[in-house]
Amino acid sequence: MGLIAADRIVGICRVVNDGDVIFANLSRLADYGMTKFIVSDMKSSDDTRAEIERFAGRAGVSVFVIDDPGKDILGSKFFTAMAGFAASALDATWILPFDADDFLWLAPEVQLDFANLEVDFILLPWLQMHPASFEGTTIVARLARPHLDEVTRLSVAPGKVLVRWQEDLVIERGHHWVHSKSGRILKGLRGEDIGLTMAHVPIRSRARFIGKIKGGAAAERLAGPAARGTHHSALGQTLEAAGAGFLDSLVDAMWRRDRAAFLALCASRALDPQQFGYLSDLVLRDSGGFLPPGGAATWQPADSAQRILAFRRKDRDTKHRIDVTTRLQVALLRLKGYARAS
């Protein structure tokens, strides 16, 4: 396992009924060198709180638990507020926002000293992992391998972000991006260059998959139009009218990666098989792997990795727009050798 020299990095997480993974996730981050966490619990009805408290008993770690009413379904403001609290109350320099099913993965041979990383953020590719890859083993055992396999999508943009915190920053919806409220251009690194990523394990069991679809649909109804089109909620809303039997059949096809059955079911209800985002990928895309750039044996050092930019953009939570000045700043920085994240 790699190592993070991270005495001033704080992990912030929002959970609901994630008792099956939250202990393993927090433990993995602690093994990497993180010691401080803020966890917001949205009225979990399973053993999530007990699992957080079990982790909090580990020597050398500090865990602050927030009772979350769960009203702010779109979480940009919520995560930005948690980051600000972590910076002021816990003396955090770096912030790692993550979900319970987002597992940070650092290549075994990599060591990162965040005190010496001269960037504003690291964009972490979001690797979608098919649940079949964990059958007969555990998530932790799978992620302990030197390289990740059974990856159905490497999402560079949007990925997830690890942020050097400043008061003018906003963590955007889903913590896929970050920007400055003042329009300041932020400079960052791509995690896939340096062996750092976020492995997304969204559907750890078939029952969990069904629960997230139904829960997402219910949350979307409560949130109204602002939440339309979000991953599991979009699938749930689309399938509600079709009935439980159709939903069960579609989930079974996804779980077995049975493309023929999945495509036939979509055709029977005139559904676009690509419309479910990464959930479509789980059944339609062939699995690949997460390897060093060019298939080399080692990852690039952070000081030689390609730089990228973050700037203001339209976002559902923040409603910022890219203005003319920002466009000129981006053009200038691109001329100086920075690559804009697509």
pLDDT (tens digit per residue) in 175-221: 888 999 888 889 999 998 899 999 988 767 777 777 777 776 766 66
262: its two tokens? 């999945």
pLDDT tier, 342 (very low <50, low <70, confident <90, very high otherwise): very low
Residues contacting residue 273 through CB under 8 Å, at least 6 positions apart: 262, 263, 266, 280, 284
- pLDDT tens digits, residue range 239-278? 766 777 888 888 888 888 889 999 999 999 888 898 877 7
How far apart are alpha carbons 44 and 70 in whole angstroms? 10
DSSP 37-102: EEEEE----SSHHHHHHHHHTSTT-EEEEEE------S-HHHHHHHHHHHHHHS--SEEEEEETTE
**Are residues 138 and 259 located together in one domain of the fold?**
no
- 303 close to 171: Cβ distance less than 8 angstroms: no
How far apart are alpha carbons 87 and 82 in whole angstroms? 9
- 282 close to 272: Cβ distance less than 8 angstroms: no
**Are residues 192 and 212 located together in one domain of the fold?**
no
**Are residues 264 and 310 located together in one domain of the fold?**
no
- pLDDT tens digits, residue range 84-104? 999 999 999 999 999 998 999
- 76 close to 171: Cβ distance less than 8 angstroms: yes
User: In percent, how much of the chain has pLDDT > 90?
Assistant: 33
Q: Which one, of 167, 50, 42, 40, lies nearest residue 97 by Cα?
A: 40
Q: Residue 232 has what pLDDT?
A: 63
Q: Of residues 136 and 309, which shows the higher confidence score? A: 309
Residue 199, domain CATH: 3.90.550
**Are residues 139 and 254 located together in one domain of the fold?**
no
50: its two tokens? 């007990």
Amino acid at 302: A
**Are residues 171 and 303 located together in one domain of the fold?**
yes
**Are residues 23 and 122 located together in one domain of the fold?**
yes
| DSSP three-state, residue 320 | coil
**Are residues 267 and 169 located together in one domain of the fold?**
no
Structural domains in the chain (count): 2
| DSSP three-state, residue 176 | coil
**Are residues 179 and 253 located together in one domain of the fold?**
no
**Are residues 174 and 235 located together in one domain of the fold?**
no
**Are residues 174 and 308 located together in one domain of the fold?**
yes
Q: Which residues of 96-132 are buried (b: 16+ CB within 10 A; e: fewer)?
A: bbbbbbbbbbbbeebebebeebebbbbbbbbbbbbbe
**Are residues 274 and 135 located together in one domain of the fold?**
no
Residues β-bridged to residue 41: 15, 67
**Are residues 281 and 238 located together in one domain of the fold?**
yes
Q: Which one, of 45, 47, 44, lies nearest residue 55 by Cα?
A: 47
Q: Residue 162 has what pLDDT?
A: 95
Q: Residue 141 has what pLDDT?
A: 82
Find the domain containing 14 and state its range. Answer: 3-203+291-340
